[in-house]
Amino acid sequence: MKHVTAVLLLMFIGTHVVFGSTNVELKTDCASLISLFGETISARIEARLDLSDEFALMLPVELTAEKGRGQPIYLESGLFLAYHPFSKAAAAIYASLIQLGILFERRYGETETFFLNEVGFGYTFRLPFGLLIEPRMTIKDPNSVFTSDYQELKEAFSSYPMIRFALYGGWSFTLPSATT
């Protein structure tokens, strides 16, 4: 967790210095609450930093776990590029630049690392007070490059969908600027 915090701080400070951006969004997948009723629990949070009106960097962290003692746990994170082709308040295309996952097989004490990719399509609705809602469709491994890695994840969990529909809720705020 300390590494994720350090990367977030470096991302915020570094891009603010280079690009002069100050807008940050924090989101969580509210639709993942449905997974509490199944065998596989999935939760995802994201931090996003705007680079310009069209581009932003995102740092998602996703946890997938089977219910029960000694079951596998999968932790995934990466660096994503968000592209708004029309305007910031409209549709967005998300693509993973770097994506890494670690599968902890608790029964056997093994860990395995995966390098993956995904794309997403969403639309952000901006509400008063910086609140936002974003329905999004995510397609994992859209060009079928990592089929063996995703097959291994599907075998480890009772439910690991390759196409996922999510409803993100979050908050957008402005970081204080060093120059006024």
Nearest to 136 by CA among 165, 179, 101, 93: 165
The three-class DSSP label of residue 18 is helix
Question: What would the pLDDT profile of 60-95 be if each residue is shown by its tens digit?
Answer: 999 999 888 778 899 999 999 999 887 766 789 999
Question: Which phi and psi (to 5°) does residue 64 adopt?
Answer: -125, 130
Is residue 21 scored above 70 in pLDDT? no
Question: Which phi and psi (to 5°) does residue 153 adopt?
Answer: -70, -40
Contact 134, 146 (CB under 8 A): no
Q: Which CATH architecture has domain 23-174?
A: Beta Barrel (2.40)
Is residue 118 scored above 70 in pLDDT? yes
Contact 49, 17 (CB under 8 A): no
C-alpha distances in Å from residue 129, one per residue of 19, 135, 140: 25, 19, 33
pLDDT at res. 176: 73
Residue keyed to tokens 């974003």: 134
Is residue 55 scored above 60 in pLDDT? yes
